[in-house]
Structure 1
């Protein structure tokens, strides 16, 4: 028998496919020293009792009413914007950015202020079951590196980008890179510093090339960032075809959609994740699928700022990788649970339509709805696939990134009254009703990083 670092016993839910949830009842999860699931053992397996006896001093068994879920992946977080979450969501995107967001982000030149916000947002996301997060920081190199260090210290798998904004025509003089060359130099130095930090970080810390979006960047910056992504084989993140204003701006500037403009600069690649993407057409979606570019679906934020409902099920059917993003603070909630719920709601509204003056058959977009099973997949396995990382599934050779859900917490008890209730019904109740109080432990790469 192999020597495992730790063994866990309990019932788990994980995605079998985009539409199917695999229920692993009272399985054993054997975890290696490097935090991977080395073996999953069913109760009927002859090794089951032997492992239980061998590891009784290093065994964690779930209590009645507790379940394992994979840690969630948040593919779009503006870490500095945690300081303004829940603010000014009733004004247009352009005004929101210039009146609230950019002045706030400019304050992150102050490392003391940055440390307070970044420590809080990383801890908050972990407490909400988010074990991996793809972060936008700010234009400030040192503060962006501080965010990566905080992720490393707190045990969250962090992918962090120093934001590039060098276009004086579309950015405020109080908040932008000094010039194009400084933006590119700072980005390269940031990449090297994070890669060095990653060498001593068990769960993984990754630098991300981050043009904020096309309006904020000059052509030279976009070209230079594409070259840096290729040189260091880094992740890339940006916003793509989010709203009428942003989508229209790019068409006016380049006479093409965001997807093809970004591709021209080398910014669509297998490690690229583009947020929103509400206005992708079929050609754009085909280009995403061809290049391996993933979509971060931000359903709460989209309801406020995207001027549309993205046909997420259709994009996924065309072979585009999909994950979920909170888009703090365009999205007010740090919970991927909340975004999974909104993803289902928005898809139903897209399919059913909203204009009751039209006949029912003309009101919506057919075949648009997704199920909670699909939303769970986007929150976990889909997020892992979007990042090409072995995360988001409770399977052998995947990282032990888990949430332990307690459905019996007195202040947030789930309505489960029958011990023999169908476990898929229990899963649905978890996905729709869990609050942070129910997330009693969170583990990343085999290490406990949060407990109630």
Structure 2
């Protein structure tokens, strides 16, 4: 599929089964559909239950679509919206799976700060950033909220790489002027603001209207920023209207540290609120131990939450009560939190969200459990709302962008082999499964080998040999 300036060069009709979330507890599955995507990468029409209508007839009956291309599901797979990772540290990708027996603060000093500080080496930064973007795209992540490092040049490089590879990205230069090694911190509040403004200016040059890349104001977390730095970043957020991302209430030791460092604030959440950093464009990662009063404050400011269950388990931070968050009306999405989280896959994160909810349910009762449908909502529609793109991505609706992945499922033949020699994914379909069963088999057993192709705004950004477009 040829592209021009990140957009498809013509109209395309996607044929086959598709699935997407239509409500928190509902996944619509269309076994035979057609989705028309225009030359700007937007969904122009959706036809359901088309049966055995020949593709050429479908094209001919759509005025103005006589020359459209076709992309058709070739096996028992389906189209699904692209995943949205609402919290990932791009610079930490090489440390994925390396956390030992650490808890949060020890892990930062032992593994994280030494790696991040090395990003003065742009050759190293390019190698790492190119790989993490390729890897997340291969797992179907079409939008990612990235934390970079304190380095302006390396952060700008990450923006460049995301744009060139076609991934939607919120790219944040990390701000921190205290509680970090002397070799890795901002020299002052003024230096932090100046460097952040430089990264904002760079994105304005490469993607002025933020079609794909958006700068995001990023205080690492309250303990690493002085009150002056937090307030200055809050002022910058108000002046620019840009989104904000940070961490909150990840573990109990961190919360105690915040209480010691900010004695005039009522809570961890209040620290951000006083600094002007709590608004409808704020993404709060973790939120494991928020008090009822803090949850009420988050909701009143319409701030959003990124749930990172794999990281919270790996670092023994705690089990976030996601059912409570949802029941109280908070907006929740999923984040891999690489490298606190061990995997760059949002599908894996969705599975972990269910497992963590079941551990919560063992104490709080069955109502705490999340369903497959709810976890898929968090991975798509929920994430879209967290990043403020709910009207553009996260589902298949006319007028939304075609941010999608083609899921391929292996069919087992009568002799127990795979019908297609190219198919080597972990999910086996025997053809007696219902469509909901197939979705569940992929949800619990699938990985990037099932992700045959990925599109962002109609542009093909990843494909495997399974994809025959």
TM-score (norm 1): 0.92
Offset, 1:306: 4.9
Partner of 1:430: 442
Aligned residues: 436
Return closer, same or farther for 1:239/1:200 CA change in 2, 3 Å cut-off.
closer
Partner of 1:396: 398
For each residue in 1:352-381, what CA deviation from the matched residue of structure 2 results, as whole angstroms up to 9, or x when unmatched? 13xxxxxxxxxx455211111111000011
Partner of 1:121: 132
Of stretches 3-12 and 333-342 in structure 1, the one that deviates more from structure 2 is 3-12
Work out whether residues 89 and 330 of structure 1, in 8 Å CA contact, stay in contact via their aligned partners in 2.
no
Asked if 1:35 corresponds to 2:47, the answer is no
Partner of 1:305: 315
Q: 1:220 aligns with which of 210, 228, 249?
A: 228
Aligned to 2:32, the other structure's residue is in SS state strand
Asked if 1:441 corresponds to 2:447, the answer is no
Asked if 1:12 corresponds to 2:21, the answer is no
Q: Which residues of 2 match residues 33-72 of structure 1 at below 5 A? A: 33-43=39-49, 50-53=57-60, 55=66, 58-72=69-83
Q: 2:214 aligns with which of 206, 210, 214?
A: 206
Asked if 1:414 corresponds to 2:436, the answer is no
Partner of 2:95: 84
Q: Which residues of 2 match residues 247-262 of structure 1 at below 5 A? A: 247-255=255-263, 256-262=266-272
TM-score (norm 2): 0.89
Work out whether residues 23 and 423 of structure 1, in 8 Å CA contact, stay in contact via their aligned partners in 2.
yes
Distance in structure 1 (CA, Å) of the matches to 2:192 and 2:68:
53
Return closer, same or farther for 1:441/1:44 CA change in 2, 3 Å cut-off.
closer
Q: 1:173 aligns with which of 182, 185, 196?
A: 182
Distance in structure 1 (CA, Å) of the matches to 2:447 and 2:304:
28
Offset, 1:416: 1.6
Distance in structure 2 (CA, Å) of the matches to 1:115 and 1:4:
32
Q: Which residues of 2 match residues 333-372 of structure 1 at below 5 A? A: 333-353=343-363, 364-365=364-365, 367-372=367-372
Offset, 1:64: 2.4
Return closer, same or farther for 1:247/1:55 CA change in 2, 3 Å cut-off.
farther
Return closer, same or farther for 1:184/1:403 CA change in 2, 3 Å cut-off.
same
Partner of 1:405: 407
Partner of 1:21: 27
Work out whether residues 42 and 48 of structure 1, in 8 Å CA contact, stay in contact via their aligned partners in 2.
no
Of stretches 259-268 and 86-95 in structure 1, the one that deviates more from structure 2 is 86-95
Partner of 1:131: 142
Aligned to 1:24, the other structure's residue is in SS state strand
Distance in structure 1 (CA, Å) of the matches to 2:54 and 2:325:
43
RMSD between aligned residues: 1.9
Work out whether residues 140 and 162 of structure 1, in 8 Å CA contact, stay in contact via their aligned partners in 2.
yes
Return closer, same or farther for 1:124/1:294 CA change in 2, 3 Å cut-off.
same
Offset, 1:63: 1.1
Offset, 1:50: 4.6
Distance in structure 1 (CA, Å) of the matches to 2:425 and 2:449:
7
Of stretches 204-213 and 302-311 in structure 1, the one that deviates more from structure 2 is 302-311
For each residue in 1:205-245, what CA deviation from the matched residue of structure 2 results, as whole angstroms up to 9, or x when unmatched? 00000000001001111000001111111010000011111
Distance in structure 1 (CA, Å) of the matches to 2:110 and 2:50:
61
Work out whether residues 278 and 306 of structure 1, in 8 Å CA contact, stay in contact via their aligned partners in 2.
no
Partner of 2:248: 240
Work out whether residues 103 and 174 of structure 1, in 8 Å CA contact, stay in contact via their aligned partners in 2.
no
Offset, 1:56: 6.7
Work out whether residues 41 and 47 of structure 1, in 8 Å CA contact, stay in contact via their aligned partners in 2.
no
For each residue in 1:78-114, what CA deviation from the matched residue of structure 2 results, as whole angstroms up to 9, or x when unmatched? 0010011111332121111111110110000111110
Unaligned 5+ segments in structure 2 are 1-8, 411-421, 465-469
Distance in structure 2 (CA, Å) of the matches to 1:235 and 1:200:
14
Of stretches 92-101 and 292-301 in structure 1, the one that deviates more from structure 2 is 92-101
Offset, 1:446: 0.3
Aligned to 2:428, the other structure's residue is in SS state coil
Q: 2:325 aligns with which of 298, 315, 318?
A: 315
Of stretches 154-163 and 365-374 in structure 1, the one that deviates more from structure 2 is 365-374
Partner of 1:106: 117
Distance in structure 2 (CA, Å) of the matches to 1:57 and 1:402:
18
Return closer, same or farther for 1:200/1:285 CA change in 2, 3 Å cut-off.
closer
